[in-house]
Structure 1
Amino acid sequence: MNTTSTEKQADTREPLDSRSLIGEASGNAIPEGSSTKEAGESPRACRQTALIPAASRYRYIAGIFDWLVPAVIAAGVITGNTIADHSPRVFPTSVIAVIAIAAYVVWNSVIVQGSTGRTIGKRAVRIRTVQAGGPHSPGYKGAVGRAIAHVLDTVTFVGWLRPLWNARRQTFADSISGTIVISDIDTDGRACRAARVINCGILGAVVLSLAICVGASYLLQYRPATEVESARDGATQAAAEGTQAVLSYEPQTVEDDISTATNRLTGEFLEYYSTFAQQVVIPTSKQKNVAMRTQIAGTAIESISSSTAVVLVYVNQTATSQDSPNPATTQSAIRVELQHDSDDRWLISKFDPVI
């Protein structure tokens, strides 16, 4: 009878709560009925049993992860702007980059950290920000206040180093906002595996974002800037050779010279030059033995894109005729506008003497 009674008493005992054992082992008993899960967190989230300050090195590694995306975006934009120089794409691209960085910082440091205590970097190294009085996320207001307080850490710089010697590993911002960065202690193997999957997914998303930023920088800035740079030499050469052809002819070959020149022209200027040459230049050259010889003294790019260019061409002209056999030399500058056609040729569309 005594044995049976003892067995029945043993069967009626409540099973030991694993959380109580863990709490006792860590020196912090967990009150009955309390939950180790934060509000709004997944049931698979790794549980926290004690407010153990995270090692300083993990905070710094997390910071590197968090600022990797803005750093790559900024580096890409700065590099692209340097290459693009005075391209009209520089300003809008810079504005988009600033907006993107600001949106990322607000999302990562305020929205995500305020609700879960973890940023991308903190999740990667398994640490999180909680209220100093208990294992609860700081909330949106707390995250905003902490972000603003980080200004003091940045201005003094000592604030960022303070976790190296502070007993609770707090920066000035942590002390002001009443937060502490702790290590996540895992008690559920499935939760740990889920966390690793989440971390891998976040890392993949970061890598994808970086690839998108690099690709966008290449397509929006580097590639157009490279195209413009390669077009610079072609446009300059076309302007010089076209100007020389338009302003040079001999009485014996004037018709061929005019034909050669028209092959370098386009648009309204082609029509004007063809008419003027047939009605004035060819008859005058043949009747009065007029010859024009032009040498290019220099060129200067005024503006250029992948499809249009404006080039200043400086020329020295020598004219002879039957009435004036002695060469008469003049110097002038021509403002030449060019268009890039589908056959990869630069053609003169406008021809205006400047001096």
Structure 2
Amino acid sequence: MSEDNRSSDAADDSADRPEPGRPRGRRNVKVVPIVLISLLLISGAGTAWLYFKEYLPDKRTDARVASAVVNAASDGTVALLSYSPDTLDKDFAAAKSHLSGDFLSYYNQFTEQIVAPAAKQKSLKTNARVLGAAVSDLRPDSAVVLVLVDQSTTSKDNPDPAMASSSVLVSLTKVNGKWLITKFDPV
């Protein structure tokens, strides 16, 4: 090695050595609190994220909310599928009180153009009964419920009840504190 390299190596080595009279661990003592404070802030941020992302939504979707959603889906299903030619306007109004959004618009059109004329012409009377219902998906402002339904239909041509069982996926949205049906999909 040349003398220039030796002198620069010696200068580098002297920079790594502590000054005489100054303790070597002094620099580490200043770094430890900074690292600990950083870790504390990161863990606090992680805890806050978990609280708002995981815990809080779960608290807003507890068993009481699930029960309310199942009741809304069941009551709405019965209202949608039960009507009589003598009380069509009242029956449709009751059903509409359980609906919202595009499904309400669709239901209005469907009942006016198809159900009401057929119910009056053939004296169709249907009664629905929910056999069971369970929450499929539950979020703070929306839910999906699987509803099992028995439906009996009579008409002037066939006075004996025709029975039908079906299952329906009922999607609901919370509107002004009330769970309303936004989709009604037979499975």
1:222 correspondence with 2:55? yes
Distance 1:284 1:39 in 2: 91
Which of the numbers 335, 341, 345 marks the counterpart of 2:169? 335
Q: CA RMSD in A?
A: 2.8
CA deviation map 1:91-142 (0-9, x unaligned): xxxxxxxxxxxxxxxxxxxxxxxx339856xxxxxxxxxxxxxxxxxxxxxx
1:37 correspondence with 2:23? yes
1:353 correspondence with 2:183? no
In percent, how many aligned pairs have the same letter? 34
Which of the numbers 325, 331, 344 marks the counterpart of 2:177? 344
Distance 2:102 2:50 in 1: 38
Which of the numbers 114, 122, 130 marks the counterpart of 1:280? 114
Specify every segment of 5 or more residues in structure 1 that has no aligned partner in the other structure, as ranges. Answer: 1-32, 42-114, 121-197
1:1-355 correspondence runs (5 A): 34-38=20-24, 41=27, 115-116=28-29, 119=32, 206=40, 214-229=47-62, 230-341=64-175, 343-354=176-187
The alpha carbon displacement at 1:39 in A equals 6.3
Instruction: Pick the structure with more strand per residue.
Output: 2
Q: Secondary structure at the match of 1:35?
A: coil
Q: Secondary structure at the match of 2:86?
A: coil
CA deviation map 1:253-295 (0-9, x unaligned): 1111001111211222211211121122223223322110000
Distance 2:88 2:173 in 1: 26
Q: Secondary structure at the match of 1:242?
A: helix
* TM-score normalized by the length of structure 1: 0.42
* TM-score normalized by the length of structure 2: 0.75
Distance 2:164 2:109 in 1: 25
Q: Which has the higher contact order (CA 8 A, sep 6+)?
A: 2
Distance 1:279 1:216 in 2: 51
Q: Secondary structure at the match of 1:253?
A: helix
Change (3 A) 1:35 1:346: same
